[in-house]
Structures are given as structure tokens and as C-alpha cells.
Structure 1
Amino acid sequence: MTTSTALLVADLTGVAVFAASGASAAVAKRLDLFGVVFVGVVAALGGGIFRDLAIDEVPPLAFADWRYAATASVTAAAVFWLHPQLARLRTTVLVLDAAGLGLFTVIGTLKALDAAVPPVGACMIGMLTAIGGGLGRDLLTGEIPVVLRREIYALAALAGAVTVALLSASGQATAVPLTAAALLVFGLRLIALRRRWSAPVATLRPPRTGTRGPLP
């Protein structure tokens, strides 16, 4: 299998995973078939469209290659019809989302590096590729986007992107190390959920309500 074929397979796998994640979230919100497929497609293709526009690959693969939209649509529709067999939808959504996060982080960072984007920019593109689909999914289903909450989400993607950039710089960007980088993101996300890790948030103090005494 050539490198381009491997990247295509990984990309379509990520599309399917994020489509299933988006569709599961839409099913949980009791959207109709069109709504479930639409949310699934947005979740699956949103990050990739941003990535391709950022590296000046026009038109984006999501529009130029029918396999992307077809994979997303078929997967989302399958989730709609099979959702009675999916137990504990919330857990399913979270696991699928973590898997998609890892896959898209690696693919987005690699494509940015291949397009001669400097490492720092490639890491940012990789992270935004990974979180873009989930951001669209949450906005469409009326949820506060995961990336804006206290949960470790974007930070996990950024850690994976940095790992990919380091592997590429050392000439180790082969299948096994890159798979390990994707698993790193996946593992960090699930461990953070399990242990309730979170980024720090600002502490808000209630306003003073007391009144001053009379001036002398």
C-alpha cells in the first residue's frame, strides 16, 4: 500500500468515525433522518475542509472526491437506522469522538507538513482539523462546544500534533509511530474523561453587596 493510499484510507476512516459521532449526537437530540445525516456530514467533513483551505488545496477533498461525502452520508444514515441497537449513546459518542480526534490530528498535521507548512503552523492546522468537526456538531445540536469547556480536548489534539511534527523532523513518520500518535490522542481524551481532568478556569468572585457607613 502506497503512502497516498494509506492516507486516503485513514482519512476516510476518520470521516466515518466523526460521521458516526455526529449522527449519534443528533439521534440523541431526536432529529429526523435529514437532520441526523446533515449533522453527521458536518461533523465528518468540517475539519477536513478547514485543513484543505488552510494549505491551499482547492477545491477541498470533501467537495472534489465523492467518496468523502458518500462515506459520511452512508455512515450517518446507518447510525440513524441502527441506533436502537446502540446502547448508552452518550458513551458511544464520546468514544467515537475520541477516535476521530486522534485520526484527524495525525492526518491534518501530516498533510500540513507535506504542504511545506512550518512545524508550528502544521501543529495548529492539525489541532483545528481535529476539533473542527466536533465544533460544528455541538453547535448544530445545541451544546456548548467541547473545545470551549473545561474538558481536555483541544490540548489532547495539540499534544498529538506536536508528536507528529517531532516524528516527522526525526524521520520517523512511518505507520507504526503515527498510529501510536493517534492512540496517544485517543488515550489522553478517554483518560481525561474517566478521571475528570480539566484545564483551569477563572475563579469569579461575587460582587460586594455591603454598604459603606456614613462619612465622618
Structure 2
Amino acid sequence: MDALQTAFYWLDYAAVAVFGASGALAAARRKQDIITFAFFAAITGVGGGTLRDVLIGAPVFWVQRPGYIIVCLIAAVIVWVTGKRGWRFRALLWLDAIGLAAYAVVGTAKALNLGVHPFSAMIMGVLTTCFGGIIRDVLAGEPNLLMTREIYVTAALLGAGAFVCLTLMGLSFWPAAIVAFFAAFILRAAAIRYRLALPGFPGASGDTEY
């Protein structure tokens, strides 16, 4: 395994762990039991990557490497044992922002490495980033990110698009990955800090004429 593969390997695990922790924190918000913590952590951590691999015809990444699920379970236990700490619900937003930025890079890079068209690879990066969180929110009974107008998918799209563009320009993996990561994270962080949202469709909510 060369240096690039090693870096990609650990970045992938780190992104799964962070998303797994965000899933466990969502269970904590609902005061669920440890089994639900573990399930939320696993489905959030690997959900997006599973969809990506199914769509591009690749072996589902965690089936032969159970370490990914184990990492999610460890994240769930860590969240569980931290107890009732006031900071951990706020941490959900920031852990999710870090996971978003990392997965935007990881998902896009894996698709590109498997020969997927750059535009489609960018879409795979967005799906990798967002799908696990959508499942998490639906299961937790929370408004999912597609229905809130918050800047989330947009941040993932920025990170994935930046990585594709920089790669096509000939930049090597790490410089492209770092720039793309921070582009996605900074946009998402600004949205959290300043409550930024995309404009909604203009007109009265009851207007159904087109």
C-alpha cells in the first residue's frame, strides 16, 4: 500500500467515525438505548458509502472490511459513556460538518479512482456525504436536511466539485483534498455560525398555479 492509498484509507475511516458519532448523538438527543445508539451510528457512518458503491457497481466497502462497522460501534459507545453533557448536542452539528467535508472528498475520490465520469463522481461524493444523514434524520423523526433549506448539500457539492476541478487541473491528491475539504467545511461552518440558508421558492405557500 503506497502513501496515497494509506492516507485515503485512514481518511475514509476517520470520516466514517465522525459520521458514526453524529448518528449516536442523534440517538442521544432522543434518549434512546445503547442498541439504538449503535444502529444510528452504523447507518449514518456507512449509509452514504453503501449507496455510492451500489450505484457505481463496486463491492460495498464495509462488507469485507468490518472494521468500518466496528469504528461506528466504538463511536456509539464513546458518545454513550460521556454521559449527560450539555455540549454534545451542539457537537452533533460540528462533527457532522467535519464528516461532510471529509466524505465529500472521500466519496468523490473513490468514484474517480474507479473510472467514473468526473461529473458523476461529483454526484457520488454528494450522495456519500448526505445519504447517511438523511436516513439518520428520518429515523430520528427530525426534519431531514433536504427539507430545511439549510446549506448542507450545497457545502457537499462545493467540496466534491472543488476536488474534481482541482484533480482535472492536474493537482495531486493531497493538495486537492485539503482545499476541497476546507472549502466544504468553511461553507458549512458559516451556515451553522450565521444561520445561513438558501432562499426558498417565491410566492405564497398556498399558491398552486404555475
TM-score category by the smaller chain?
over 0.9
Question: Which runs of structure 2 are paired with 1:29-108 in the superposition (5 Å)?
Answer: 29-58=30-59, 60-84=60-84, 86-108=85-107
Give the C-alpha shift of residue 115 in structure 1.
1.2
- Unaligned segments of structure 2, at least 5 residues: none
How far residue 131 of structure 1 moved from its aligned partner, in angstroms, is: 0.5
* Contact 2:101-2:182 within 8 A present in 1 as well: yes
Percent identity, aligned pairs only, is 33
Return the offset for 1:142. Answer: 0.5
Superposed, which structure 2 residues align to 1:1-216 within 5 Å?
Answer: 2-58=3-59, 60-84=60-84, 86-205=85-204
* AA of the residue aligned to 1:31: Q
Task: Give TM-score, length-normalised by structure 2.
Answer: 0.93
Secondary structure at the counterpart of residue 63 of structure 1:
coil
Mapped contact 1:164–1:173 kept (Cα < 8 A): no
Structure 1 vs Structure 2 CA RMSD: 1.6
Tell me which structure has the larger Cα radius of gyration. Answer: 1
Per-residue CA deviations over 1:134-153 (Å, capped at 9, x if unaligned) read: 11111111111123211000
Kindly state the Cα deviation for residue 206 of structure 1 after the two structures are TM-superposed: 6.6
4+ runs deviating over 3 angstroms:
none
**Contact conserved, 2:111 with 2:121, CA < 8 A, in 1?**
yes
Matched residue type, 2:72 = A
Total equivalences in the alignment = 206
CA distance in 1, matches of 2:114, 2:83: 39
Amino acid across the alignment from 1:177: A
Name the CA distance, whole Å, in 1 between partners of 2:206 and 2:158. 38
Q: Per-residue CA shift, 1:161-215, capped at 9, x if unaligned?
A: 110001110111321331221121111101012222111212452769xxxxxxx
In structure 1, the gaps of 5 or more residues are: 209-216
Are the aligned partners of 1:23 and 1:40 in contact in 2 as well (CA < 8 Å)? yes
Once the two structures are overlaid, the 10-residue window that deviates more, 145-154 or 94-103, is 145-154
| Aligned position for 1:214 | none
Structure 1 183/205 Cα, relative in aligned 2: closer, same or farther at 3 Å? same
